[in-house]
A and B are shown apart, each in its own frame.
Chain A
Amino acid sequence: MQFDAANLTTILPEITILVTACLVLVVDLYLKEKNKDVNHKLSLFGLVIAVALTGVVGGGERVVFFDGNLVHDRISDLLKGSILIVSLFVFVYARSWLKDRNMLVGEFYVLGLFAVLGMLIMVSANSFLTIYLGLELQALCLYALVAFDRDSKKGAEAAMKYFVLGALGSGMLLYGISMIYGATGTIEFGQVAQAIAEKGLSNQVLVFGIVFLVIGIGFKFGAVPFHMWVPDIYEGAPTPAVLILGSAPKIAAFALAVRMLVDGLQNLHSDWHGMLLILAVLSMGLGNLVAIAQTNIKRMLAYSTISHVGFIFLGLLAGSNQGYASAMFYTIVYALMAAGAFGILLILSRKGFDVENLEDLKGLNDRDSWYAAMMAIVMFSMAGVPPTVGFMAKLLVLEAVIRIDLVWLALVAVIFSIIGAFYYLRVIKLIYFDRPMLNLPELVTTNGVRFAMTINGLALLMLGLFPTALLSLCQAAFV
């Protein structure tokens, strides 16, 4: 059997990340304490190269590589690009926090990069085996990152919860996969779809398997009622870890859902449609209502995540290409917003002090008006206020739902997002209309961080004003 070198060119971005991670792992050994910044630069360099390579090898028609284990199509190109870019922001924001706490060590970058690698693998997976391995790679890194602060009891507890529930979710997923393998005799998505088309749709085993798949997806997304881990982990984990696990992994989770449910089980849409519907309504409801009662900003953002997951599910359950495209748009935009929000929290933290409570944001405008403006844009976007991109994203998803004649669902979604707007606007009120707490030291940031945050914030605005570029990419992915 001859090995085709084209196999390797398609995974160049993955190879780049792998090489960078291994490089950091080795270089870190020989670095002196004061030179640890080299890790940071190497990682950013690797990510930039990977982004460039994604562009170079991207485009073209859907092709399957590695004997059906990997697929290269427009979905994978776009999602890979967005994962890498969001991760770039993440690493830039995390640096000073880690440095202040003597945690700027190679392992953070190694684990972070391997998590990115796992996400890239998930995004372009074409079989249940590959997607599961990618998921585990990503999850293992995230468990370790949550426990990264070894002296923090809260962190250790959060990591333990995350690990146990994550393992449970993976177990559910595997069980579902085994059922689908039993019913179709294959683990490759294309062949699964074909087998279902041939054998008919009323197979009990398949439906049983889908139930477990959806539970697994729900766990990984953190959708209600599988959301229990989200707030505790957001609160307990060190903020850079939350930044990593709250942003790009959502894109990977979206890929998980799309690859399994759309690539593999599109024919059974009528079966998983209803399950996602329940998850979506519960997530939007519980997420938005409980978020109001939070005083801890990390917990509040956790519940806000849950509500956004509900919206992503709305797009997915529509079952139309337009629905998938809108869900994809929403996911990418959400990852950017989450990166921005947690980025601001990291910037405001300093040695010995973490931004934990909403009050810590009071009077941000008086301390640094530019960051205040960026945070305001992020919050407006999360709330879905025009002209930010959050509005666009919500609008597209609702349109998809209305097109399949679920007007009541759209109404429910609108009502919950109006309720949700309250707690986002409360943050803006704290930033602009409250006095800062006394004796706060000056905000110290580097130009790099300021630059990244500016791009991040303005991107949310620009995408809202001119959504066509990203939107057409998303729509082209699902044709």
Chain B
Amino acid sequence: MGFEKFLFYVFAFITLWSSGMVVTRRNPVHAVLFLVLAFVTSAALWILLEAEFLGIVLVLVYVGAVMVLFLFVVMMLDVDMAILRANFTHYLPLGTFITVVMATEIFIVVGSENFGLVAFPAPEAVSMAVDNTRELGLSLYTIYIYPVEIASVILLVAIVAAIRLTLRQRPENKYVSPSNQVHVKRFDRVRLVKMASENSNFETPAKDTRLDDGVTK
């Protein structure tokens, strides 16, 4: 058994084990962390397949950004697992039955008979000089330019939809816009009013309009 094969089995085992933990952990934060682990080891598997761009991007995007936000949300949630699990056993027999049927079907179809080395011979190794990131970029932006553009529209829609569904002015929120704060002028807050003196014994200084200039207008 070569070193690469050994690495493959190690990573594959960790991937499967951590995926199993994702669904069986009671604590949602632990589940998310196991999911992160599963992503990292799948990235390692991809790198073993010499798809280093995909592997690194998986870590960068999913582990580095998406899962962080996921973790963020899960930590804030107050999930009562007892309620979630109340009906668990109720659906268990049906669920198990369907799972077993599906798994059997998949095992029958996705076996070495249909997907073995005969049907899919291993591709010839390319030289190290081939930069597969560059190759990927070239085919994405020429052959698959149309799907790439559609994908970008989907992301735009996701932004619009998320903002529409969440952004709202809430009256109970005491948020003060910093730019409004900065732009406040003295005239907006303080007004100097010139009044005649209440007591007529005092003589008001005549024609003293210094305070008026530009202040009370």
B147 is an interface residue with CB less than 8 A from chain A: yes
Determine whether the beta carbon of B147 is less than 8 Å from that of A137. Answer: no
User: Secondary structure at chain B's binding surface: helix, strand, loop or mixed?
Assistant: helix
Q: Which residues of B contact A (CB under 8 A)?
A: 105, 108-110, 114-115, 142-147, 150-151, 153-154, 156-158, 160-161, 163-165, 168
Quick one: which of A23-40 are within 8 Å of B by CB?
25
Q: Which residues of A contact B (CB under 8 A)?
A: 1, 18, 25, 66-67, 69-70, 105, 107, 110-111, 114, 117, 121, 127, 129-130, 133-134, 136-137, 140-141, 143-144, 147-148, 150, 179, 182-183, 203-205, 208
Q: Which residues of A contact B160 (CB under 8 A)?
A: 25, 107, 110-111, 114, 144
Determine whether the beta carbon of A140 is less than 8 Å from that of B147. Answer: no
Contact partner of B161 (CB less than 8 A), chosen from A70, A111, A203, is: A111
Q: Which residues of A contact B168 (CB under 8 A)?
A: 150
Determine whether the beta carbon of B154 is less than 8 Å from that of A66. Answer: no
Determine whether the beta carbon of B157 is less than 8 Å from that of A70. Answer: no
Please name the residue on chain A nearest to B151 by beta carbon.
A133
Given contacts A111-B157, A208-B105, contact A69 B115 (CB under 8 A): no
Determine whether the beta carbon of B161 is less than 8 Å from that of A143. Answer: yes
Q: Which residues of B contact A18 (CB under 8 A)?
A: 153
Other contacts beyond A130-B147, A140-B157, A208-B109: 8, CB < 8 A:
A67-B144, A69-B146, A140-B161, A141-B161, A143-B161, A144-B164, A182-B114, A205-B109
Nearest CB in chain B: distance from A31 CB, A: 16
Q: How far is the CA of A137 from the CA of B161 in the complex (A)?
A: 12
Jot down 10 A-B pairs with beta carbons below 8 A, ordered by A. Answer: A66-B146, A111-B160, A114-B153, A129-B147, A134-B150, A137-B157, A140-B154, A141-B157, A143-B161, A203-B114
Nearest CB in chain A: distance from B137 CB, A: 13
User: Secondary structure at chain A's binding surface: helix, strand, loop or mixed?
Assistant: helix
Nearest CB in chain A: distance from B122 CB, A: 15
Given contacts A129-B144, A147-B165, contact A137 B114 (CB under 8 A): no
Q: Which of B115, B157, B168 has the most CB of A within 10 A?
A: B157
Q: Which 7 A-B pairs have the closest CB atoms?
A: A144-B161, A66-B146, A107-B164, A133-B150, A67-B143, A69-B146, A208-B109
Determine whether the beta carbon of A67 is less than 8 Å from that of B150. Answer: no
Please name the residue on chain A nearest to B161 by beta carbon.
A144
Q: How far is the CA of A101 from the CA of B74 in the complex (A)?
A: 34
Given contacts A111-B157, A133-B151, contact A66 B145 (CB under 8 A): yes
Given contacts A67-B142, A130-B146, contact A136 B154 (CB under 8 A): yes
Q: How far is the CA of A66 from the CA of B146 in the complex (A)?
A: 7
Determine whether the beta carbon of B114 is less than 8 Å from that of A148. Answer: no
Nearest CB in chain B: distance from A318 CB, A: 28
Q: Which residues of B contact A105 (CB under 8 A)?
A: 164
Q: Which residues of A contact B114 (CB under 8 A)?
A: 182-183, 203-205
Q: How far is the CA of A19 from the CA of B40 in the complex (A)?
A: 39
Please name the residue on chain A nearest to B109 by beta carbon.
A208
Nearest CB in chain A: distance from B179 CB, A: 16
Determine whether the beta carbon of A140 is less than 8 Å from that of B158. Answer: yes
Please name the residue on chain B nearest to A159 by beta carbon.
B165
Nearest CB in chain A: distance from B138 CB, A: 9
Q: Which residues of A contact B142 (CB under 8 A)?
A: 1, 67
Determine whether the beta carbon of B157 is less than 8 Å from that of A114. Answer: yes
